Structure 1
């Protein structure tokens, strides 16, 4: 799906000139912390990452990530916290 203003390759800057970069995160979401978990339950034997939610601050995101790797039923092996695309935290299931 290619929609103007939401990732279209022919997006333009405010002055009408085309530019080569389109934000993949809206400005309001750039303040959030992304939480992704490593899913190893796939039938093909491949592990893959899934975004499961967003935290409003670092503490909130770390708390959510930690809960997913320590929950009693089906804990994930690993959870990662990212802010503006940068890895800021890793949580692993206790061995």
Structure 2
């Protein structure tokens, strides 16, 4: 059964990315997000953030060239424009 993932405020997705990046390696990203947003958001909204972050990560880590992702030769990171976070927050997503 497929379900639609609710849209989230783009500022929340950007905040989620920043907090997960800051605390990378300390815990699983879902635990980091739950701990950070638990008092501010409903569980469904936290889950929506997790799904949207995963979808965005899959887009960015792929090898397909994209105008949204900048690959730097010899670097193990990729650069993305903030606009991609805004699109990832509101684009229809089904899981």
TM-score tier after normalising by the smaller chain length: under 0.3
Structure richer in helix, relative to its length? 2
Structure richer in strand, relative to its length? 1
For normalisation by structure 2, the TM-score amounts to 0.25
For the pair shown, the structure with the greater C-alpha radius of gyration is 1
For normalisation by structure 1, the TM-score amounts to 0.25
